Structure 1
């Protein structure tokens, strides 16, 4: 409990304190996005095939490298803090340590989920989903949640994505066993949905099955928009890389269908098998990889768009979405000249972080590769969240277990709202007329991090078990 309380304190400080003023990094290049100038710089260098970048609740970047290392990267200084190197990761061509996701209630459930390739006692190359525990600045206590997934040195996937309902999506490739993508009993060529303990959600499309969607070749990107739509990028063969809108229970066609349902035999298959066509495709292929959703006003031309990075295409592609998020009217390419690009994430301040993959055996590494690049609008002013102590909403104890006391510094709005980490309102209260302090129970709230608001004033709250 001691290390957990320490972590809660650290997380609260990170959540309520803006990042320190950053000395501008040397500019590598710039490019325009509408009227905005986007500056590109290198946050950190000397990496080896970074595979995943995730913005964490501690305001650090959590990174996997294909050889087995998991690290936290300081987005201000670029310092890389290794947390663990997984000894049973088996790298082979495209295989190794792949996707990563953090538990949505990380303050009280400090779990890190990773997927990677390994070799069993009989020498068989496989893939598994593992949960690690973060404590005292390191990762340990590995627990396999799902294993024995057939794998080869190519077409392993695999991205992980937490959903708001506390379930986990995991993409898998066909492992060069193409018919398995259409086999509902196989875990290959799928997007899977699991509970956070590895069990099967009761409301999956097929009862008793982890399969969420089928008919995939090698999904390499996975993201959810604020409106709840799911998108995935997928490698095609020599043609038809795809950007798909993911809907539960749908079939995405592989290996019978490549790209759209536009050949007679494809049209017949699509009509009979509930096939969902991609939103857009690329021929020749780009090797589409990491995918994110951009919602920040920092770069207005990208706001409410998808951003996609590619390996063979070696570019960043802006995918504009229509108002309902189910069509891509335009796509625009940026960021050439840095080689293969695999992973991408966005900070709350609107900075975009992109990892190169030039040391993966298929690129031409520069002396400083691999790198994490920062793309930002340096003219955008991030509004400070700092508030003078005399004007802050005060609350205690924090963390809380039973009751919470709130004190407002001056009379103003009476309403109090408590929202969870996903922005859902979970409790309300009021100051009585002329009242400065109020006490109420939090025993009905699940352990986790919450936001307490009174008018324009807000404070983070941690509820403990």
Structure 2
């Protein structure tokens, strides 16, 4: 949905209406497939959250671009700032970026952080390892220094692989030639031992470089099968989701998206280029990703969940059984909170989103920035027949095409009205028991209100059109 269609007033009114059906903490109750989900702000008033991690201690860890690292208790709502890095340079897109926790955190309580800093007249990037002592992060050791950086195109996500190595994405730092330069760490995927040394089995001896030809990868995640996926910012076209592989070239700047132009085809054939699994034109400004495979939301099982900044939506990318291709892509929460920076999946199947409207390109809303929790109403999903709070249900919600409306209070017949976000009635029809259909094929994406009059009763419920 175009952001200018929805003012803050409309957002607030939709949230207020939704909250009638939910607990007072819930902001919306929608459907992902046949699963009812609640969305709730668990922390607000933060500034440009960048990384979200669900820690092995059951806490939510997150970074803010200005240099703060926090640990959030999901049971009590208590937030503790555990580190503030004084030499972080927050300028443009630069600042404190990615974070990773050592996979053997109990024995090796190491926390890895990437941030930008000033080096004379230049901006640089470094990887630092800290020790968690139970209350703060301490004993920072710089593992890699002087990585080329800029006020934009800095990467940088961190992810531990099943091989126990740390993988790090770097951007091209605004100089496209970096991505194909084997002597530059910019525009690459780096593979690093936990102590910061270079693995002996890296593709090129004595080099951190594991894959090259990347522009600005801001999302990294391993699937349980050991496949590494990355989200890649394109120029004015061809944002990408890549399957990242050892020693492969991803084409930038000679190739954007697929190898489909004559010069691109030649370059791809000569340089072992791996094409993306999926590409978007116009671009979404793709950001953090995570892998979802929990039974709490079956519709999202075996999917990559991807946030976007400019498009301000969550994208679910259903993977093939072998994980080597994308079966389908769906959009969720289009424009609802604004710019989405990162996504994190908990072991219990809850999803956490980082909203980043205070990053210099968004329009902050009351309470921004914030972290949102998405949870199934029932841990194992909930069937539409068991959802009964006295209000009509639009199934599925969001709707794409035809939706089924169920309401226990509907008598033999009634009348329904559909209102757009301005309150204008755009459709009417006959509401018949026990259920009836509505068609949204001609509607623009966005939020709508369904109102039903039946037997001297009037009820309303919001729904989302994709």
Q: TM-score range by the shorter chain?
A: 0.7 to 0.9
Alignment of 1:291-306 (within 5 A): 291-306=289-304
- Range moving further from structure 2, 210-219 or 123-132: 123-132
Cα offset, 1:223, TM superposition: 0.2
Contact 2:122-2:150 at 8 Å conserved across structures: no
For residues 57-109 of structure 1, what are the alpha-carbon distances to aligned partners after superposition, in whole Å with 9 as ceiling and x for unaligned?
10001100000000101122332110010001001110000000001111121
Cα offset, 1:381, TM superposition: 5.3
Cα distance in 1 for partners of 2:162, 2:224 equals: 10
Q: Give the equivalent residue in structure 2 for 1:207.
A: 205
Cα distance in 1 for partners of 2:76, 2:369 equals: 17
Contact 2:100-2:111 at 8 Å conserved across structures: yes
Contact 1:320-1:329 at 8 Å conserved across structures: yes
Contact 2:315-2:331 at 8 Å conserved across structures: yes
Cα offset, 1:358, TM superposition: 0.3
Q: Give the equivalent residue in structure 2 for 1:108.
A: 107
For residues 257-294 of structure 1, what are the alpha-carbon distances to aligned partners after superposition, in whole Å with 9 as ceiling and x for unaligned?
00000000000000000000000000000000010000
Q: Which of 276, 279, 298 is the matching residue for 1:278?
A: 276
Alignment of 1:42-441 (within 5 A): 42-120=41-119, 122-336=120-334, 337-380=336-379
Change (3 A) 1:25 1:371: farther
Cα distance in 2 for partners of 1:370, 1:118 equals: 23
Cα distance in 1 for partners of 2:280, 2:24 equals: 34
Cα distance in 1 for partners of 2:100, 2:346 equals: 16
Cα distance in 1 for partners of 2:132, 2:23 equals: 31
Contact 1:43-1:77 at 8 Å conserved across structures: no
Question: Tell me, what secondary structure is at the counterpart of 2:138?
Answer: strand
For residues 383-419 of structure 1, what are the alpha-carbon distances to aligned partners after superposition, in whole Å with 9 as ceiling and x for unaligned?
xxxxxxxxxxxxxxxxxxxxxxxxxxxxxxxxxxxxx
Contact 1:52-1:100 at 8 Å conserved across structures: yes
Cα distance in 2 for partners of 1:113, 1:369 equals: 26
Q: Give the equivalent residue in structure 2 for 1:425.
A: none
Cα offset, 1:136, TM superposition: 3.7
Cα distance in 2 for partners of 1:78, 1:259 equals: 42
Cα offset, 1:365, TM superposition: 0.7
Q: TM-score of the superposition, structure 1-length normalised?
A: 0.76
Cα offset, 1:253, TM superposition: 0.2
Question: Tell me, what secondary structure is at the counterpart of 2:299?
Answer: helix
Contact 2:306-2:315 at 8 Å conserved across structures: yes
Question: Tell me, what secondary structure is at the counterpart of 1:271?
Answer: helix
For residues 26-45 of structure 1, what are the alpha-carbon distances to aligned partners after superposition, in whole Å with 9 as ceiling and x for unaligned?
12112221111121111111
Change (3 A) 1:179 1:164: same
Question: Tell me, what secondary structure is at the counterpart of 1:330?
Answer: strand
Cα distance in 2 for partners of 1:208, 1:25 equals: 57
Contact 2:294-2:349 at 8 Å conserved across structures: yes
RMSD across aligned positions (CA)? 1.3
Contact 2:297-2:380 at 8 Å conserved across structures: no
Cα offset, 1:24, TM superposition: 6.0
Question: Tell me, what secondary structure is at the counterpart of 2:29?
Answer: strand
Cα distance in 2 for partners of 1:105, 1:37 equals: 35
Q: Give the equivalent residue in structure 2 for 1:37.
A: 36
Question: Tell me, what secondary structure is at the counterpart of 1:314?
Answer: coil
Unmatched tracts of structure 2, length 5 or more: 1-21, 382-466
The alignment of Structure 1 onto Structure 2 pairs a total of residues equal to 359
Question: Tell me, what secondary structure is at the counterpart of 1:106?
Answer: coil
Cα offset, 1:124, TM superposition: 2.2
Contact 1:25-1:43 at 8 Å conserved across structures: no
Question: Tell me, what secondary structure is at the counterpart of 1:238?
Answer: coil
Unmatched tracts of structure 1, length 5 or more: 1-22, 383-465
Cα distance in 1 for partners of 2:33, 2:343 equals: 21
